[in-house]
Structure 1
Amino acid sequence: MVLASTARVAPSLLAELRKRPELRRVPVLIDGTEGWRASLQRLDVDGVAESFDSLERLLTNSLKARKAVELDELIRKRLELMLELTRMSVSGVALDELVRTVSSRLSEGLGSERVAVLQVQGGVMSRGLLIDGNERTPVDLAVTPTYRRALESRLPVEIDGGWVVPLSADVREIAALVVRRDTPLEREELDYLQAVGVALANAIEQQQVHATAVRSQEALEDAYVERYKELVEANNRLRTADRKKNEIMAVLSHDLRAPLGVIIGYTHILSADGTLTQVQQTSADAISRGAKKALMLVESLLDSARGADGRIALFSRVFDVSEACQDAARELQLLAKEKGVGLRTEAPLSLDVFADEQKIRQVLQNLITNALKHSKGAKEIVVRARLRKRPDGDVALIEVRDDGKVEDPNAVLMAFDRSNGLGLSICRDFVERHGGEIWAEAPADGGAVFAFTLPMPAGQQRGLPTRKSEPLVLLVDDDPIFSRIATMGLSGHYRVELARDGNEAVSRARALQPDVIIMDVFMPNRDGLDALRELQSRPETENIPVILLSARPELPERVRPAELGAADFVAKPLPPSVLLSRVQAAVQRSRARPQLSAGPGNDPETGLYDHIGVANALEQELSRSVRYGRPLTLAVLKPLSNIGDDAGRCAAAIRQHIETPDFVGHLGHGVFVVVMPETQGDEAQKLVGRLVGVLADAHVSYRSRTLDVKDATGGRAEQLLEKLIS
C-alpha cells in the first residue's frame, strides 16, 4: 500500500489503517517526493520514497518480502502437518481422525478448495469411498478411469480441477489423496503431496500395528483375570485342605503325647529301681531315648501345624538375648564335645530384645543343633549377638556360624524351606512371626552362617528417617514413562519413591512405611495382586492403602477394589490431576498413624541418608552382595569448591537421575555417596559420569571416584566408606 498524503494528515490516516485487522500486516510505503521526508520518517511505516525511482524500488522489495512471508507461512503449515502425522503415527489414534486431520490441514497448506481421501473398500479395485471431512461419498472405480489409472500406476494423475495422488502400495485401506483446486499444482506441491502420502501410509500402518497390539494385550489380560480367579478359587480350596490337615495333625500329636509320656515315665521308674541287669538297663535307656526323640518330633509337629495355620501365640516381653545365647551354647556343650567341635559365644554383656523368650531359645537350640549335625569338618561353631543399626530402626542380629566345608552353597540358601525338615522351618515361622528376618549364607571363605534379627524394645529404638511435611507415596510400575509423569504430577504434594515390580514393592514398603502405595497390576517377576496379598498379610504393612492401576479401562469396572483389599482401582493412562485426587482421597481415608520421630540416619538438609544412614544401608547391601555373589559399586562425588547452601539443589538434581535399587547419601559439605547394587565396571562409570554432568548443568563442578567392592581388601561398611572418601 502506497500512502500519498500531507505530513499533517498522514499520521491519522496511518493509525486508522492499522486499526483494521485485515490491513494490519500489509506493508505501507509513503510518498515523500513532495519534501515532507523529515516529518514522515517518524511514522511507523515500511519505507518513505524520496523519488519515483526509490518508490518503484521500495514497491518491488515490499512485494518480494510479502511473498517470502507467505512462503514461510506455507512451509510452516506444511511442516506442522508432517509433525502432526508423525505424532499421530506413534499415539495410536483412530483412522477417522487421521483422515480428518489430513483433509483439513492439506487444504490450508495447498490453498485448495478441498482435499479428500479415497478409500478402497475391502481392497477391491471396483468400490471406493471418497472421504471429505464428515462427508462420505461412494465411488464406482469402474466408471472413473482417472481414479483407477492412478491407483494401478501408483503415480499422480491430473483430473478435471485437481489431482489424484496415490499412497504407498503397502496400505490398501487408504488408496489416494484427491486435491481440488482451480490453479494447477506446481512440481514442489506434487512432491509435498507424495511426502504426505508416505507419512500418512506410515501412520496408518502404525495404527494397524497398535490396534493389533491392543487386541492382543486385551486378550492376554482377559486370560490373566480369568486365570487369577481360578487360582484364587484353587488357593481357597488348598487352604481349606491344609487347615483340615493341620487339625488332624494337631489331634494326632496330642493323642501321641500321652502314651509317650507313659513310656518315658515307666522307663525312668525301671531305671531308678536299680534291679535291672546291664542288658536290661541298656534296653531301658534305648527305649527312653527313642521315646524322648519321638516326643520332640511330636512337639515339632504341633509347632509346625500352628505356624502353618498362623496360630502361633506369642508371649513377648523384654529379655536379654545375650544371656539366651550363652545358655543355649552351655546346654549343648556336651553334644559339641562328643562331635569334637568347639562351641563358644561372642555377645555383649547385655542386649535386650522384645520377643517370646521361650520360642527364641528354641530357635537358638535348633540352629546350633543343625550346625552340629550338618556341618562337615567343622572345628568351631560361634554364636554371635550384636546390635545392628538400620535407618528403619535398630535390631538385634544373632548369628550361628561354623567353619565347616560347604559342598552346595545353593542348598544352604534354601535351608529354611519346609521340605528340608521341621526344625529350621519352625525357626523361620517363629522369627517372622516376631517381625524379624531369618536367612542362611555361604561365605566365600567357607562355612555357613544362619542369622536372624529381632526387634529392639520400643524405648531403645532409634528413629526412622525423618518425614518431611509431605506424605510419602511408593509408586510401583515397570513403565518408566508413566512413573516419570506420575512423579511430576505428585511432586509438590507428596514425596515419591519408586519400585519396579512386586518383590521390590514389598521390600520397600516394609522399609519405608509409605502413606500410600500406587501399584500396577501387570508387572514382570511378580504382579501387583500377589504383592498386595503379601502386604496385607504382614502386620507392618497391612494398614497401608494401596491404589491399583491397570492399562485395561474396563478392568477396574469389572473388579471392585474391596474384593482385592485395595483402597482404589483406576485405569491408566490418567491425567496427573486425577491421580493426585485419588491419592489424596486414599490418604484421608486411611487410618492415622503416629508420626515417626527424627533421629540419626537422615540428613535434614537434603532429605537423603546421612553418614549413619548410608553406613547402615550399605551394610545390608554388603550382606546381600556376599550372600548371593552379586556385584556392588560405590562412588563419591566431591565439589571442587565450597557450594554453600546448594546441597539441597544438588541432591534434588542427583535424585532425579537415580533409579532403584541405587541410592544416594549426603555426608555433609556437598559430598555425596552413591551406592549401586547390581552394577560394576563401565556401567557404574557411565552412571557416575552422567551425575557429574547433571551437576555441571546445575553450575556446580564435581569430581568423582568409584570403588568396586569385590576389588576392595575386605572391611565392612564404615571401612569401605573411609577408603572411598579418603
Structure 2
Amino acid sequence: MGDSLRAELAGPRGRVLVIGARKTNEVLLAHLSHAGFQWVITEDLGELPLLAESSRPDAVLVSATGKKATEALEAIRQDARLRELRVLADLTRTRSEVLRKLPADDWVRNLEELTTRLDTALRERRLMARTRNRMERLLEITQVATSSLELEDILRLVVEKVGAVINADRCSVVLVEDSNSRTASVVATMEDPGLSLDVDLARYPELRRALETRQQVLVEEAQRDPLMAEVHPAMASLGVRSILVQPLVCQDELLGALFLRISHGTEGFNRDEQEFAQAVGAALANCIRNARLHTSLKKKRDELELAYVERYRELTDANRRLKDLNRLKDEIIAVCSHDLRAPLQVLLGHGRLLLEGELDEMQKQSAEAMIRQGRKILGLVESLLERGKGDVARLSIEPRVLDVSVLCRESVSELSILSQERGVALRAEAPERMMLIGDELKLHEVLQNLITNAIHHAKNAGQVVVRATRLVRPDGDVARIVVQDDGKGIPPEELPLVFDRYRSGAKAGGGTGLGLAICKEFVELHGGEIWAEAPPEGGAAFIFTLPLAHEVQRAVQNLPNKETTEQPRVLVVEDEPEIAAVLVEVLRSRYRVDVARDGAEGLARARSSKPDLVVMDVFLPKLDGLDAAVALKSSSDTAGIPVILLSAHQGVADKVRALNLGAVDYMSKPFNAMELLVRTERALKLRKEETELERAAPAVRRSGNDAVTGLYDRRGLLLRLDHEVGRGRRYSRPVSLAVLRPDRPVANESLVGVPQVIRARLRTQDILGHLGDGVLAVILPECNVEAARNAIGRLLPDVEKQTRMEYRSAVADVSHDSDPVERILERLGAPAPVPRL
C-alpha cells in the first residue's frame, strides 16, 4: 500500500482516514490509538479511492501542509465515498495560513480537542446514516402501502420494515371496527407473521388511551408509569421496558394502532423513533382506509351483480309473459279479422248485385262508393291479419305501377259526399299523368286520411284543394301532392309534431293523431317524405312526395314488339346451389344460362359477357344484390342490362328500393316456374324496346349532371340544395354547404377519380357537385358547421393529392341563412353561373 500504515483495532469508537506523512504524525497517530480510534494514513492522493473502499472511514483528518493540503481537500470532494464525510484540518503542529484558509468542516488546534472534534463528527455521521435509513424505509413503506398487494401482505411487510429501523422486540398492527369498540384485532406482528387474534382493550391501558385520545402514547418506564398500574404484575413478568402506541387515523376515522414494545433494554424510544412511528402511522392509516373502501365497494358491486341477476331473471319472466300475451293478442286479432271478412264479403256481394240492377246516376255513384270503401276495409282487415303474424308484425305493401293523378281524383270523388254534407268545396288539380311504383290501397288511405282531416278543419263554406304536380330533381323526378284547407291552421311550434303517434293538438282536434302517424309510415315505406306547412294565405297544408318511375319504363310501353332469332343470354347470380340448379333448369328451356356464385363474381361476369338479363338474389356473399344492381346501373356499359331480384325476405323496403333503384322486377322465394318465365320474357321485351328507343333518338344528357365528373352541375346542385334546405327547416335540422376552390383552374383530366376519392370520406347522404374549373361543392344534411369543417378538412389532402392542386375551403350553415342559395354560393367562392347562349 506504499507509505500507508494501518493500526490495529483498539476499540469501536470510529475509523479515521489521516492524509499526511507518517513520520511527522507519530504523536497524532499514537493519540488516536490511545483514544480508541481505528486509523489509516497515507500521503499518496492516488490511494484515496482504494482506502475509502477498504477502510470505510467515518471522518477525514488532513495533516498535510501547504499546497498538498489543498490538493488533498480537492481529491476528497471528488470521491463519491469521501465527499459526504466530515473533514478536519490538523493545526496541532503548524499555524499555516494555507490550513487556516482551507475550506474544511472543522479545525483541530491541539491534541486535547482532537477526540472531542472526532466524536462530534462521528455522531453527526451516525445520525445522518440513521436518518437516511429511516427515510429509505419510510419510502419503502409508502410504496408498499400504495401497491396492489392484499392488505394482509402489506401489513406484514410494514411491521418487518419498522422492526428493522426501530430496535423493538414487538411490532404489531392492531385494527378496530370503530372508536367505541371494546376489542381489537391483531392482524400483523413481527414475531409471528401469520398471527391473527382478538384482544381485550381492558388489558391494554396504553392502547386504550391512544385509541380514545387519538394521540401518540409513550410509556417510558412501564414499571413506574401510573397508566400501567393495573397491569404492573404482567409487565414485570415480561420485563417490559418501554411502550410506544401510534394511533392510525385517516380523515378523522379511527382505524387502529401501531404497537411497539421494548423489553429487557436500557434505552427507550427516542424522539426520532417517535417521529418515524408517526410518519409510518399516517401512511398505514391511508392504506387501511383505502383497503376498507375497496372491500366495501367490492361488496357493493357483488350485491349489485346479484341484484342485476335477480332483475334479469325477473325481466326474463316478464318478457316470457309479454310474449304469451302478445301471442294471445295476435290470436285475438286473427280471429276478429277472420270474423270481419265474412260480413264484408256479403256486403260487397250485395253491392255488386245493386250495380247490376237499374239505378239512376246518383244511386250508381253511391253503390260504387260503397263497394270501393268495402274493398278498402277488406284491405285493412288483410293488413290486420298480417300484423297478427307475431314478430313479423310489419305492414306489407304490394307495389305496382300506378298513376298518382288518378289516385288523387278518385280519392276526391269518393269523399265528395262528405264534403257536400259539411258545405266544403272539394276539388282535385292533377292535370298531368305521373306514374309511380307503390301500393294502391295504402296510398288511397294516405290521401283519404289527409282529405278527411282537411274537410273537418275547413271553414264553413270553405274549400279543400288536392294538387298533384311533378317536381324535377337531378336524382329523379318526384310527385308532389298537397292537401290544403282554409281553416284555422296549425301553430308553428306544432308543425314538426303533428305526425307523432298518440299526440293530440289543434289540428288533431283533440284526438289521438293515429291517422297522421299512419300516413307518415305509409309514405316513408314508399321512399317518400311528408310534412305540414302553414301557408301565408292561412289554413294548413299537408304535403308529401313520392318517387316517380323511370321515364324509359313509361316511354316504351307503346313501342312495337320485335322478335329476334338469337337465343338471349341470362346470367343467374345465386349462392345456394339447390336454388341455382332450379333457376338454370327452368330458364335453359328458352335461354342460354350462365351462373355466378356471389355478387362480386356476378358483377364481373356481367361486365365481361354483357348478358341480356340478370336474375340475382338480394342476399349474396362479398357483394349483395342491391349493391350489385346499383353498380350495374352506374356503369355506362352495363346500365342497360335489366335485373330481376330474388329474395326470401318479405320486407317492404327491400321490394320498393329494388324497383326504384333500377331493377325491373322483384320476386319472392319460393317462386313459381311459369311466373319466372313470364317475368323473364317481359324483362327481355322491355330491354329490346329500350334499345330501339335509344336507336330512334340520340341520347341527351340529363340536365343537372356535370359531363366531366358525372356529379351534379350548378343547376342540379341548386335543386338538391333547395330540397335539403326546405327539409332541414321543416324538421329543425342543420344543413351545411361547403365549397372547395383550387388555386387555379383544374383541367378535366385531373378531375378523373376525384368523385370516388371524396365519396370515400363522406357519408352516404352527403351530396357532391362540380361547379366548373375544378370548383367542388358539398351539401351535408343534418351536419352543423363545425362538423362540416372537420369532414372537409379530412378530405382536402386527398383531393389535393388526386388533382395535384392546392385547395381552399369555406363552409356555411344554409338552413338558417336568409340569403338565397345563389348568393351563399358566391359568398363561399363558387364561380358565377355560365350564361346560356
**Higher Cα Rg: structure 1 or 2?**
2
State the TM-score, normalized to the length of structure 2: 0.44
State the TM-score, normalized to the length of structure 1: 0.49
Task: Give the structure, 1 or 2, with the largest relative contact order (CA under 8 Å, sep 6 or more).
Answer: 1
